Amino acid sequence: MIKNRDSETAKVLKSIPSWILRWGILIMAIIVSVVIISSIELVHFQYKFSTNAHIESEYLTFSKNNEIDIEEIEYILIGGSKPIKINNLNIITNKKNIIIKISPDYLDMLENKSIVKVDIYQKKSLLEIIIGNIN
């Protein structure tokens, strides 16, 4: 039932001027590249960063570095505790440190340790993971 239509396709392509085909291919290549680049920027992953923090009275202090972006933090784990959403914390930053005020409930769980491991989960786009921080 299906006939070979190669000759009909060739006739149609020959009837279209070559400059139109070249421009069409160029425009399609540009559209595909824009879609690929924008999808790389839009795809986000959860990125885990571990660091040690010092406990001073009710405050948890750890040094700020280039990998931690406060706006992108979703939640943190303090000393293996359950995840704490970043909206529930009082965060203070300065040039060198990130200081988090934690509730007394979590202080009791840490059993009077002076240094504790903190896991920070933040959103990172695929582009930031591949290339690094653009800023």
Rg (CA), the chain: 27
What pLDDT is recorded for position 1? 44
Residues of the chain with confidence (pLDDT) below 70: 1-5, 65-67, 106-112, 132-135
- The DSSP code sequence of 75-127 is EEEETT---EEGGGSEEEE-SSEEEEE--HHHHHHTTT-SEEEEEEEEEEEHH
Q: Residue 22's pLDDT is what? A: 92
Each domain of the chain, given as residue ranges in start order, spans 6-42, 45-131
Q: What is the pLDDT of residue 32?
A: 96
**What phi and psi, each to the nearest 5 degrees, are found at residue 122?**
-135, 160
What integer pLDDT is reported at residue 67 of this predicted model? 67
